[in-house]
Amino acid sequence: MNYPTDHRAVPATVLVAAPDFESPFIARLRAADLNVKTGQAVPIQLSADSPDLVVLDARSPAVDGLRIVRALRAAESVPGIVVMGQFSPRDDNHTCAYFEAGVDDVIGDPVCAEEAVARVRALLRRIRASRVPTQPTTFEAISLSIVCTTVQMQDVRIRLTRTETDLLVVLAKNADRVVSRGQLLQTVWGFPTEAKNNVLNTCIYTLRRKLESHGAPHLIHTVRGVGFSLRTR
């Protein structure tokens, strides 16, 4: 799945909710020709700023990141959400809680500004690409139809995040074949970084849970040491 680069004159708007408005990350975002807004009262600012993406710095104990993410998703007020937090490779539960709440990506501390900006830009490209009117992506073998971030299986409609949708499309297009971790990371996140495997595993887990909680069969299988496969038989 190749996403075209958006060349329109209007830059994407990124709202960064962080205590430090002069961080290297924010400076790099501005240098990348993005329209960067900063603040701390995220839900209040959304109506005024209409951002394409919210980056929430949840590293402070005073920030209830999960509550904010759930509120944003419940209001369906922003296409993309990225959270920066204290994510340990050995603590999948914390990462999983954020993906289940509806984030598209998580960035662990210490934050590498260059990588964080690359991941934000990759998500923005996918969000922009999803706004181009298209016909439903339909996979008849599993009665699956995807329009934007809504999946319909049989008579059930399931809302997914942008990242979950992109993962599902890649797997469905390669149904009954194994898609490697590197291929998924490259296609969805933009680069096959091994350090992101924990995020990939967690996102696959939450995608499975969403599908199966709505009555879908166990479609996505892990192929140890290789990747994942969506099986239709």
Task: List, for residues 179-216, the tens digit of each pLDDT value.
Answer: 999 999 988 887 766 555 578 988 999 999 988 888 77
Please state which architecture CATH assigns to domain 13-130: 3-Layer(aba) Sandwich (3.40)
Q: With contact defined as beta carbons under 8 Å apart, do 137 and 151 qualify?
A: no
Q: Which amino acid belongs to residue 98?
A: Y
Q: CA–CA separation, 32 vs 11, rounded Å?
A: 10
DSSP secondary structure string, 118-168? HHHHHHHHHHHHHTS----EEEGGGTEEEETTEEEETTEEEE--HHHHHHH
Q: What pTM, to 2 d.p., does this model score?
A: 0.77
pLDDT digits (tens, 9 = 90+) for 118-160: 989 989 988 887 766 566 667 765 666 776 677 877 777 888 8
Q: CA–CA separation, 33 vs 143, rounded Å?
A: 41
Q: Terminal CA-to-CA distance of the chain, rounded, Å?
A: 24
CATH of 137-230, picked from 3.40.50.12160, 1.10.10.10, 3.40.50.720, 1.10.1750.10, is: 1.10.10.10
